[in-house]
Amino acid sequence: MKKRYLWTLAAALVLTPLIPTNAMASSTVAAVSSKTLEKIASEKAALLTEQYGITSVQYALIDNGVIKVSGQTGFNDIEGKIPLTKETIYGIGSTSKMFTASAVMKLVDEGKINLDTPVVQYITDFKMEDERYKKITPRMLLNHSSGLQGSSLNSAFLFKDPDPYVHDSLLENLSTQKLKAEPGAFSVYCNDGFTLAEILVERVSNMTFTAFIHHNFAVPLGMNHTMTPQDMVETSKFAGLYSPAYEGQLPTETTNAIGTGGVYSTAEDLVRFSQIFTGKRTDVLSIKSAQTMEQEEYRRGLWPKDADNSMDFGLGWDSVRLFPFNDYGIKALVKGGDTQMYHSSFVVLPGQNMAAAVITSGGSSSINQLLASELLLQAMKEKGTIKEIKPDKSFGKPVKADMPNDFVKYAGYYSTQGDQWNVTIKDGELSLSGIVAPDQKFIYTKDGTFVDEDGSTKVSFVKESNGRTYLWMSQYSSVPELGQLAFSDYKAEKLEAVVLNKETTDAWAKREGKSYYPINEKFSSVNYMSMIRPTIQTSGGHKLEGYFNDIKITGLNTAESQHQIPGTAGRDTLSILFYGKEGVEYFNAATTVYMSEDGVKPLYKGKLSKTTIQADGYARWFSVPEAAAGKKMVVKMPAKGGFMVYDETGALVNNTVISGKNEVVLPTKGYIVFAGNAGSTFGITLVK
């Protein structure tokens, strides 16, 4: 199994009200609804838990202000004492961005924000190392075209810990960063843009973001189960979380980048929220603002030609022309969200005044989108809005054609997020292989594209107006009994070889094959569920000289993402800086600090020892020496801290934040990390 080179974060995610006296009748489920549609919904939802490993599912569909279908399936707490209900609360991940975008537009309605006025006029202490930041506007934050690097999400995903650090530290983190592109040049998914928009809402409104969405959306729409980590919510109200990495129920997950991915809600609450996008609750948001949000913002910058797709940005929306609804001539809007544990999809048909929401514990937003789309299609078929549900699409089995000789110029190395692809073209066939991605083969066809054997994917090459060459890929992905997803985007950008001088080559050669350990993630982090050790790999296999995976080496101790890919393949770019301290090498990447394996020392094998978190707050990593393997380690815990133990494969053996157990039998060749507040001391006892 290939190792990833950086800590994987959700795309993610891209994160108490009372029932109002003017709550509409639409807040209740219709007394009479279609048994056929209810049966279909129940059966399709059961597929997710029975065949796709999803723990629980909650779903709802609203039609002309009336909730027609609402249900849930799966299991909740492991003891079976707390049933799933329509009021069970889930994290909605990046679907939270729709609350952020709506909050900005609410302030536009009030004349307090202009979408095209620079953000620095509202957030005067917003600064970056790149002077172009002064051109960033609220519109660019909401359509992902700001040019910000992507995701400053260090210590964002925590177990039952509403620590606002990720919000409070954003402006400081951005102050040391440069932009990846000219503001407005192209839209590429960006979490930091929405955390910055969250701060924008707070500065302009003089309210906390949580208070703002309660006052302006949750209360007037009767969304009585929509809240954030800043609200006090009983643990029993949340859907149970589980992971293959741990036997037992996990604590509640808090995503503390609230405007990016931290809102909690229910499926019924989300479909109530949809009414502001269909023009039925103009007392909450104006029709003008709702229509502005569904404009084709992706067209403002570099973007591939139109094709069936699930990713064509509006303001907040992932797509404003969602497949398969475009095939029926129906406008559909979608926003999906994934945290580490929760997943959601929210699909709105503004012209039909309909919406569906699907939220799960486990799974993915893509699977949820399929179910939400299927419910809407079935509902429209039942009403007669559409006659039939169309069959899955395909490019058909490829018929090989004569390939022009000049196509071989597109062979070479391409960068995409977290990977580097090697494209070879010979005799009318294209082979694509990556460091992470599986090998794929395509056949040249008469329309000038390459198509894979089963006809689900086609690729071509485009030299864009910016002079860069992109690998364009269009895909249909079918999921039995749930439907089909479509994607059409630039997946990768062609790389040029980099010639490094001997000094730089030697410096990186010394890092080759070394693992690095994250040291500034909070002890309550969900990321400690598994031990991820980025490994430096710059040579061998499918790698172009001068690159660390997709990141260009720029000096002895520096590397920087330089691709400019719209959509999602160019998201979360990095600037990496290596430095030494007391004989150990470290590097910074996307606000996370990593320590070389040289800094991992064997745990003291004697009976009694202690370790203390130093003033820098960095976690302390240890390996398990042979003499300690098989012994029980008992730890006297500090008030704010935890420790995690992993076996030699990186699998979790014990996490005190999850288990509450301060003792563990140490595995052979395992690893231990102690994390906590600066000054926290762990007293360690080893017993046979």
Angle, alpha carbons 583-585-589 (nearest 5°): 160
Burial 142-169 (b: 16+ CB within 10 A, else e): bbbbbbbbbbbbbbbbbbebbbeebbee
Query: 3-class secondary structure for 221-278?
Result: CCCCCCECCCCCCCHHHECCEEECCEEEEECCEEECCHHHHHCEECHHHHHHHHHHCC
d(CA 362, CA 522) in angstroms, rounded, equals: 23
* Cα separation values, 446 from 24, 402, 450, 460, Å: 57, 8, 9, 12
Identify the pLDDT of residue 248: 92
- Give the residue among 73, 43, 37, 38 at the shortest CA–CA distance from 57: 73
By CB atoms closer than 10 A (0-12, 13-18, 19+), residue 22 is exposed
d(CA 545, CA 502) in angstroms, rounded, equals: 13
Identify the pLDDT of residue 20: 29
Report CA torsion sign: 181, 183, 189, 191: positive
Count CA atoms within 13 Å of residue 65 on its CB side.
Answer: 8
Three-state DSSP class for residue 589? strand
- Give the residue among 17, 240, 218 at the shortest CA–CA distance from 98: 218
What are the tens digits of pLDDT across the range 388-411?
999 999 999 999 999 999 999 999
- Give the residue among 129, 113, 286 at the shortest CA–CA distance from 202: 113
**Pairing status of strand 641-646 against strand 608-612:** unpaired
d(CA 169, CA 572) in angstroms, rounded, equals: 18
Q: Residue 189 in contact with residue 141, Cβ under 8 Å?
A: no
By CB atoms closer than 10 A (0-12, 13-18, 19+), residue 682 is buried
Question: Would you give the distance in Å from CA 331 to the centre of its chain?
Answer: 25
Task: Find tokens 């006809």 and name the residue.
Answer: 455
d(CA 379, CA 34) in angstroms, rounded, equals: 9
Letter for the amino acid at 338?
A: D
Q: Residue 486 in contact with residue 393, Cβ under 8 Å?
A: yes
d(CA 523, CA 359) in angstroms, rounded, equals: 28
Count CA atoms within 13 Å of residue 377 on its CB side.
Answer: 23
Identify the pLDDT of residue 308: 97
Identify the pLDDT of residue 7: 30
- Give the residue among 582, 574, 581, 622 at the shortest CA–CA distance from 601: 622
Polymer length of the chain: 688
Q: Residue 599 in contact with residue 202, Cβ under 8 Å?
A: no
By CB atoms closer than 10 A (0-12, 13-18, 19+), residue 246 is middle
d(CA 511, CA 514) in angstroms, rounded, equals: 5
Count CA atoms within 13 Å of residue 247 on its CB side.
Answer: 2
d(CA 388, CA 382) in angstroms, rounded, equals: 9
Low-confidence spans in the chain with pLDDT less than 70 = 1-35, 539-542
Burial 555-565 (b: 16+ CB within 10 A, else e): eebebbbbbbb
Identify the pLDDT of residue 437: 82
Token pair, residue 105, equals 């537009």
Count CA atoms within 13 Å of residue 15 on its CB side.
Answer: 40
d(CA 29, CA 688) in angstroms, rounded, equals: 61
Token pair, residue 411, equals 């062979």
Q: DSSP 3-state helix, strand, coil percentages of the chain (rounded to 5)?
A: 25, 30, 50
Which alpha helices (DSSP H) does 82-220 contain, by range? 97-109, 138-142, 165-168, 170-174, 191-205, 209-213
d(CA 54, CA 75) in angstroms, rounded, equals: 10
